[in-house]
């Protein structure tokens, strides 16, 4: 008799648990995502086409709106694991070939302020495909055809690395 009651209670508890886990906000399935950077089990960032940026917190996914980037395909996002407030994203406007770098040092805030750094100095217009930072100051942007750029000032200025290999 005990087993029968226990089985019935477990069976009745399953729908309650299923409803509880389905309450989290999920990512929209209409956006094409190009990069996800997971910070820990509760926090992550994702970027995609049409300038879409999403942040995951324990309460679910939230879209972050940044003015002036709706024509950009964001290719990569990077977050410093030990300093979650530092977030960078790179992308390319396929209409003009212009590359951008977005950065914030307040990624932990509810509404982070983003700085848009456009780079038109590289005449070959090689698409920025990836961004990585070793610390808040030293970072690298990788691009097509072996393009490698390095920054020593948190992404304000960039220099081409000859040979396309990280020093």
Asked whether residue 7 is assigned to any structural domain, the reply reads no
Flag residues of the chain having pLDDT under 50.
16-24, 123
Asked whether residue 17 is assigned to any structural domain, the reply reads no
Strand 128-133 with 139-143, pairing? antiparallel
- Cα dihedral: 157, 160, 161, 167 (round 10): 10
Residue count (the chain): 167
Asked whether residue 64 is assigned to any structural domain, the reply reads yes
The partner residues of 38 in beta bridges, in order of sequence, read 44
Mean pLDDT, the chain, rounded, equals 79
- What six digits make up the tokens of 35? 């990069």
Look at residue 21 in the predicted model and tell me its pLDDT. Answer: 39
CATH number for the domain that contains residue 61 = 2.130.10.10
SS3 content of the chain, % helix, strand, coil (to 5): 15, 40, 45
Look at residue 27 in the predicted model and tell me its pLDDT. Answer: 66
Could you give the count of Cα atoms lying within 13 Å of 118 in the half-sphere of its Cβ?
8
Asked whether residue 1 is assigned to any structural domain, the reply reads no
Look at residue 86 in the predicted model and tell me its pLDDT. Answer: 87
Look at residue 89 in the predicted model and tell me its pLDDT. Answer: 93
Look at residue 75 in the predicted model and tell me its pLDDT. Answer: 95
Asked whether residue 6 is assigned to any structural domain, the reply reads no
Look at residue 108 in the predicted model and tell me its pLDDT. Answer: 65
Asked whether residue 23 is assigned to any structural domain, the reply reads no
> 96 lies in which domain range?
28-164
How far is residue 86's CA from residue 55's CA, in Å, rounded to a whole number? 13
Look at residue 18 in the predicted model and tell me its pLDDT. Answer: 39
Asked whether residue 22 is assigned to any structural domain, the reply reads no
Asked whether residue 105 is assigned to any structural domain, the reply reads yes
Look at residue 44 in the predicted model and tell me its pLDDT. Answer: 92
Number of domains in the chain: 1
Q: What is the pTM of this model?
A: 0.75
Could you give the count of Cα atoms lying within 13 Å of 47 in the half-sphere of its Cβ?
26
């Amino acid at each position: 008799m005990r087993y029968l009651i226990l089985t019935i209670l477990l069976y009745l508890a399953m729908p309650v648990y299923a409803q509880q886990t389905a309450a989290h906000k999920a990512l929209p399935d209409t956006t094409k995502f190009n990069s996800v950077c997971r910070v820990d089990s509760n926090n992550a960032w994702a970027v995609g086409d049409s300038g879409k940026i999403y942040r995951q917190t324990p309460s679910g996914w939230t879209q972050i709106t940044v003015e002036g980037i709706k024509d950009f395909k964001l290719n990569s996002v990077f977050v410093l694991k030990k300093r979650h407030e530092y977030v960078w994203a790179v992308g390319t406007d396929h209409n003009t070939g212009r590359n951008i770098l977005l950065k914030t040092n307040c990624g932990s805030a509810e509404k982070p302020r983003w700085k848009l750094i456009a780079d038109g100095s590289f005449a070959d217009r090689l698409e920025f495909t990836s961004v990585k930072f070793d610390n808040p100051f030293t970072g690298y942007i990788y691009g097509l055809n072996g393009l490698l750029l390095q920054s020593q000032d948190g992404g304000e200025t960039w220099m081409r690395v000859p040979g396309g290999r990280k020093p």
